[in-house]
Amino acid sequence: MDPKQLFPDAVTAECECDLRERLRAQRVGQFRALLAERDRFDALAPFIQAISRLNAGSAERAIAYLDTWPTTYFISRVLHHGLEPAAAATRLTAGLLFESMSDGSSPLADLELTFQTEVDGSIVVPHRAGRLVIDAFQGAPHTMRWECGADRARIYAAGSGRTAVEVPLPIRPGASSRISFTPCPPARPWGIPILDRGRELFFHFTRTPDAGGSTGSKAALSLDESLRAAFDALESTWPECIQWAKALIPAFAELEDEYTPGKRQSGSFGPGIPVYLTRVPDRHLHAEDIVHELQHQRFQLLVPADDWFGLWPCRSTVFVSPYRADLRPMAGIHLGVHAFVTVNEFRLRYIARAGSNEAVLKELVSLHHKNVFALRLIISSEVLKTPAAKAYYATVASAMSRHQAFLDSRMPDRLCQDGTLALERHLDYVRQSSKREVSYSRPTVEELAGYAQMLLQDGGGA
């Protein structure tokens, strides 16, 4: 990553190719990590065996299946986040029902699979971004046992004694009246699928909200409405973000039961993984959320953090975070700054185009003070190991200096004081709960510009 490219710029053909190669390397690497620990995960044996068969017949077919977000996501959840292997196995193997070997046979031949269908009787097929329904099992949840052959499968409802249903393999939608497949609708005009039941794919929040999560008390928009509004907002203010989203975000997942008036959350499990969202009541908010999650993905994919930051691997050394109520390792502070200084940059561009109201300005100034706190913490406590790391944070400091200049020229002093007081209240809470001494003072343009200049000089820049 060019240290000066804090913010998303145009995605060139060369850049897009580089992103694909980086994602492919990560995804194949996850599968290799699984193979190294395969003895721990008996439930994933059919998936591993089917991939091995694909690879023996055509390495290209195997790589194509591995080089997808569901494969790396579910393997990662098992290896690093405690997802039950049996739950991951159903999602990983569902897509293999559609795959064929070079001779046309199924890679699942002679394997027995178990699928727990959803409440409507469907099997979720993440690799195909849709749902598979077998006519005899629709309308209610079932545990289905599949006995797979080279060209067909016999399906039983486990424990029911029901006569088996036979379907052809590989599955070809439309080839049998017993099978139907419904793709997830795309978010328009993004052209990116909406996974309307994110919890079926084990997307859920495991953390407290990040900064900037207020929504007010209005009723929520549908996800389709808010994503359309987000596209319009980004297209008119920062179209490069749309290019990056299409390159890195394979789907949007809705957490359908997670809307709480006054709060919103978004998240992702890494580069090239769907962004999951709660519904929001205001038309611009998902644009902010997409910018936020996009920056997390860009950072994780492009920043050589172990090479740049001395405290990056230190998870036991924790600091007061302006974004969270719990103490955080320095890695969390880096990720927060990268995302939230960009959220404020989007807000300033949006304000320049569409104007603002007091609520937006309050969010802007409150987040700016949190960003400044984080920048000061990094400069005082982090080890920026390379000239590129220093140049990167010079870019961050320069952006914050511009943001401060806007606040000084446009913001009523009352709102600036409110933003400072909001951070001080947060720090008081953290101080009491963690027994850490911490303070904050209002920044100036000169202070932030001085950080940028100091970092450039230390890094050997002009």
Question: pLDDT tens digits for 324-360?
Answer: 989 999 999 999 999 999 999 999 999 998 887 788 8
From CA 50, how far away is CA 270, in angstroms rounded?
A: 26
Model pLDDT for residues 137-186, shown as the tens digit of each residue: 887 788 899 999 999 999 988 776 666 889 999 999 887 888 999 999 99
Token pair recorded at residue 380: 């005082």
pLDDT at 462: 47
- For residue 159, what is the DSSP state? T
Which of 68-72, 256-260, 292-296, 307-311 comes out lowest in average pLDDT? 256-260
Which of 96-105, 406-415, 440-449 comes out lowest in average pLDDT? 406-415
Mean of per-residue pLDDT scores for the chain: 90
pLDDT at 436: 86
Mean pLDDT for 78-83 is 94
- For residue 309, what is the DSSP state? B
Mean pLDDT for 233-254 is 96
CB–CB of 149/180 below 8 Å? no
pLDDT at 259 exceeding the cut of 90: no
How many other β-carbons are positioned within 10 Å of the β-carbon of residue 238?
A: 22
Give residue 261's pLDDT band: very low, low, confident or very high (50, 70, 90). Answer: low
Mean pLDDT for 51-70 is 94
Beta bridge partners of 153: 148, 167
pLDDT at 262 exceeding the cut of 70: no
Main-chain phi, psi angles of 142, to 5 degrees? -140, 155
From CA 212, how far away is CA 138, in angstroms rounded?
A: 42
pLDDT at 212: 46
Mean pLDDT for 77-81 is 94
- Give, in degrees to the nearest 5, the angle at Cα 102 between 98 and 108: 45
Per DSSP, helices labelled H in 194-329 are 223-237, 239-248, 285-302, 305-308
Main-chain phi, psi angles of 269, to 5 degrees? -100, 15
The percent of residues in the chain predicted with pLDDT above 70, rounded, is 93
What type of residue sits at position 272? G
Mean pLDDT for 295-314 is 96
From CA 163, how far away is CA 146, in angstroms rounded?
A: 13
pLDDT at 444: 95
pLDDT at 249: 97
415-428 burial, b if ≥16 CB within 10 A, otherwise e? bbebbbebbbebbe
pLDDT at 453: 95
Coil, helix or strand for 260? strand
pLDDT at 438 exceeding the cut of 80: yes
pLDDT at 205: 59
From CA 277, how far away is CA 267, in angstroms rounded?
A: 7
The alpha carbon torsion through 350, 355, 357, 358 (nearest 10 deg) reads 80
pLDDT at 320 exceeding the cut of 90: yes
- For residue 214, what is the DSSP state? -
Mean pLDDT for 450-456 is 95
Coil, helix or strand for 143? strand
CB–CB of 405/420 below 8 Å? no
Report CA 446 to chain centroid distance, whole Å: 35
pLDDT at 264 exceeding the cut of 60: yes
Report CA 187 to chain centroid distance, whole Å: 16
Beta bridge partners of 123: 132
pLDDT at 1 exceeding the cut of 70: no
CB–CB of 379/373 below 8 Å? no
Coil, helix or strand for 244? helix
From CA 207, how far away is CA 266, in angstroms rounded?
A: 11
Report CA 203 to chain centroid distance, whole Å: 10
pLDDT at 372: 97
The alpha carbon torsion through 396, 398, 402, 404 (nearest 10 deg) reads 70
Which of 3-12, 56-65, 359-368 comes out lowest in average pLDDT? 3-12
Model pLDDT for residues 33-49, shown as the tens digit of each residue: 999 999 999 999 999 99
pLDDT at 354: 84
How many other β-carbons are positioned within 10 Å of the β-carbon of residue 435?
A: 7
- Listed in sequence order, the residues at least 6 apart from 130 whose beta carbon sits closer than 8 Å to its beta carbon are 181, 182, 183, 184
Mean pLDDT for 399-415 is 92
pLDDT at 399: 97
Model pLDDT for residues 173-232, shown as the tens digit of each residue: 887 888 999 999 999 999 999 998 888 888 875 544 444 454 455 678 889 999 999 999
From CA 62, how far away is CA 57, in angstroms rounded?
A: 9
Stated pTM of the model: 0.92
Q: Which residue has the higher pLDDT, 357 or 444?
A: 444
From CA 265, how far away is CA 258, in angstroms rounded?
A: 9
Give 129-150 as a DSSP string: TEEEEEGGGTTS--EEEEEE-S
The percent of residues in the chain predicted with pLDDT above 90, rounded, is 71
The owner of tokens 């947060």 is: 426
